[in-house]
């Protein structure tokens, strides 16, 4: 297996952002809904819009602890020595009618009594010995009242189709009493690594052998993306065994991700096997690390075939390929909204020769110096060096033929945007 990550640049490398958009456009969204309990829905994607069964709030309610009153009553009583407290309304009480000529002690979330038009915060109120209230400051009509349906109305869309169900989304549905949701089933992804040199963790490692870190990493990343992983293990550098793995994947899964074997070495057979079976849509991306990334399908018609992504064998290149290219494709297949990449300028705290022929993603950590963030290299930058990638808070993207100068700002892409 040849990593293919040297500085020698092959012709016809595709721009990374062009590759990303082509992948998103090529994804055929999964249309296979299932109904599950809301308690099991974290990380899933809505297959149909979630519709509000309730007004929210259901009734006018108080935004704080205080006193609910009718302004006309207070103004009339103010000249006579204050407005008497004639009612107490805790949260969970029914909707009551406000007694004429009096006010109600009310608590946050409690229904505002019928006839009341203002809630005065308790810190602005003094209660005298006769139980009459006196307000400090000017009353404002409608103050501190949450109006019925001001957030949502019955029949309105709470969440659209394709919405990712994170904790706030699940809380919103729970607030409406929704117990079951219709979501897309999990994407089934076949995963395997290629290479005669790869061995499983826990086995004795002989000279020349390498533990398979890519599969361990991608298992986690795919599960974070709420995929069902079909782990096919390590496939040796053999066209026959690759065909067998692809046969199984095509019969049992929605897509395939493999690592290694996609470069131009004599033992790199993935590309030729893909071309024999189906179609290679592009191979080679103008990014460092990650150049050998390939995308294809296991038949010539992508719309009716099993799509395949072949990630580079070097682990950091495989990680970058997943984050920038694989992940948005999976989201699009899940019928999930694909978010734009988040980035902002950060100043480099080092000088370094820039990349040639392709852009480079440098693994960096941010340090706070002089009132601003400064990017420092997170260890070694080789595409085989996981130690730096494991410590990095983000990537500093440097365009081709651009040297990095200390004190100059470059686009910074935080890695926390690639988690879910």
Q: What is the rounded distance in angstroms from the CA atom of residue 402 to the CA atom of residue 350?
A: 14
Q: Residue 3 has which token pair? A: 């990593």
Label residue 373 by pLDDT band (50, 70, 90): very high
Give me the count of residues in the chain. 420
| Whole-number pLDDT of residue 305 | 83
Label residue 80 by pLDDT band (50, 70, 90): confident
Task: Say if CB 277 and CB 349 are below 8 A apart.
Answer: no
Model confidence pLDDT, tens digit, residues 149-170: 999 999 999 999 999 999 999 9
pLDDT above 70 (res 239): yes
pLDDT above 80 (res 1): no
* Model confidence, pTM: 0.85
What is the full DSSP assignment across 206-268?
-TT-EE-HHHHHHHHHHHHTTPEEEEEEEE-S-HHHHHHHHHHHHHH-SEEEEES--SSSTT-
**Torsional class of 323: left (φ above 0), alpha (ψ -120 to 50), beta (otherwise):** alpha
Output DSSP code: residue 371: T
Tell me if residue 408 falls in helix, strand or coil.
coil
Q: Which CATH architecture has domain 344-418?
A: Beta Barrel (2.40)
| Whole-number pLDDT of residue 161 | 93
| Whole-number pLDDT of residue 9 | 39
| Whole-number pLDDT of residue 278 | 87
Burial of 39 (0-12, 13-18, 19+ CB in 10 A): exposed
Model confidence pLDDT, tens digit, residues 290-348: 999 999 998 866 556 899 999 999 999 999 999 999 999 999 999 998 999 999 999 99
Best CATH choice for the domain 16-32+185-333 from the list 3.50.50.60, 1.10.287.3510, 3.40.980.10, 3.30.1330.10 = 3.40.980.10
Domain ranges of the chain: 16-32+185-333, 36-55+154-184, 61-146, 344-418
Model confidence pLDDT, tens digit, residues 94-153: 999 999 999 999 999 999 999 999 999 999 999 999 999 999 989 999 999 999 999 999
> Tell me: domain 36-55+154-184, CATH 3.90.105.10, correct?
yes
pLDDT above 70 (res 266): no
The CATH H-level superfamily of 61-146 is Molybdopterin biosynthesis moea protein, domain 3. (2.170.190.11)
Q: What is the rounded distance in angstroms from the CA atom of residue 115 to the CA atom of residue 86?
A: 14
Q: What is the rounded distance in angstroms from the CA atom of residue 141 to the CA atom of residue 192?
A: 66
pLDDT (average), residues 241-270:
85
| Whole-number pLDDT of residue 301 | 64
Nearest to 188 by CA among 330, 318, 312, 302: 330
| Cis preceding-peptide flag for 57 (omega within 30 of 0) | yes
Please give the mean pLDDT across all residues of the chain. 92
Model confidence pLDDT, tens digit, residues 187-218: 999 999 998 899 888 888 999 899 999 999 99
């Amino acid at each position: 297996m040849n990593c293919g990550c040297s500085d020698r640049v092959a012709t016809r490398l595709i721009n990374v952002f062009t590759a990303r958009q082509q992948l998103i456009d090529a994804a055929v969204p999964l249309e296979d809904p299932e109904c599950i309990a809301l308690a099991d829905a974290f990380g899933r994607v809505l297959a149909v819009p979630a519709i509000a069964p309730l007004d929210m709030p259901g009734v006018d309610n108080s935004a704080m602890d205080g006193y609910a009153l009718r302004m006309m009553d207070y103004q009339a009583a103010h000249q006579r020595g204050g407005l008497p407290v004639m009612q107490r309304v805790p949260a969970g009480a029914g909707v009551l009618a406000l007694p004429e000529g009096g006010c109600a002690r009310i608590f946050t979330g409690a229904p505002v009594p019928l006839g009341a038009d203002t809630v005065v915060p308790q810190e602005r109120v003094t209660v005298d010995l006769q139980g009459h209230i006196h307000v400090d400051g000017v009353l404002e009509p409608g103050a501190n009242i949450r109006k019925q349906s001001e957030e949502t109305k019955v029949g309105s869309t709470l969440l659209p189709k394709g919405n990712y169900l994170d904790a706030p989304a699940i809380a919103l549905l729970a607030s409406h009493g929704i117990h079951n949701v219709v979501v897309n089933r999990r994407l089934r992804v076949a995963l395997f690594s290629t290479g005669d040199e790869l061995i499983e963790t826990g086995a004795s490692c002989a000279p020349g052998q390498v533990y398979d870190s890519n599969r361990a990493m991608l298992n986690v990343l795919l599960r974070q993306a709420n995929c069902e992983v079909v782990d096919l293990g390590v496939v040796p550098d053999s066209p026959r065994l690759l065909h067998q793995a692809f046969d199984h994947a095509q019969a049992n899964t929605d897509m395939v991700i493999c690592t290694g074997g996609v470069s131009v070495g004599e033992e790199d057979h993935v590309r030729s096997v893909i071309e024999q079976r189906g179609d290679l849509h592009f191979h080679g991306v103008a990014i460092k690390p990650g150049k050998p990334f390939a995308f294809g399908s296991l038949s010539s018609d992508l719309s009716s075939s099993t799509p395949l992504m072949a990630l580079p064998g070097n682990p950091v290149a495989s990680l970058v390929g997943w984050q920038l290219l694989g992940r948005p494709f999976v989201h699009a297949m899940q019928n999930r909204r694909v978010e734009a990449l988040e980035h902002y300028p950060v100043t480099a705290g080092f000088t370094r020769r820039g990349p040639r022929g392709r852009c480079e993603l440098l693994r960096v950590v941010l340090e706070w110096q002089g009132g601003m963030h400064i990017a420092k290299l997170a260890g070694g930058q080789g595409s085989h060096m996981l130690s730096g990638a494991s410590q990095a808070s983000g990537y500093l993207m440097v365009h081709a033929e651009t040297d990095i100068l200390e004190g100059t700002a470059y686009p910074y892409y935080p890695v926390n945007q690639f988690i879910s």
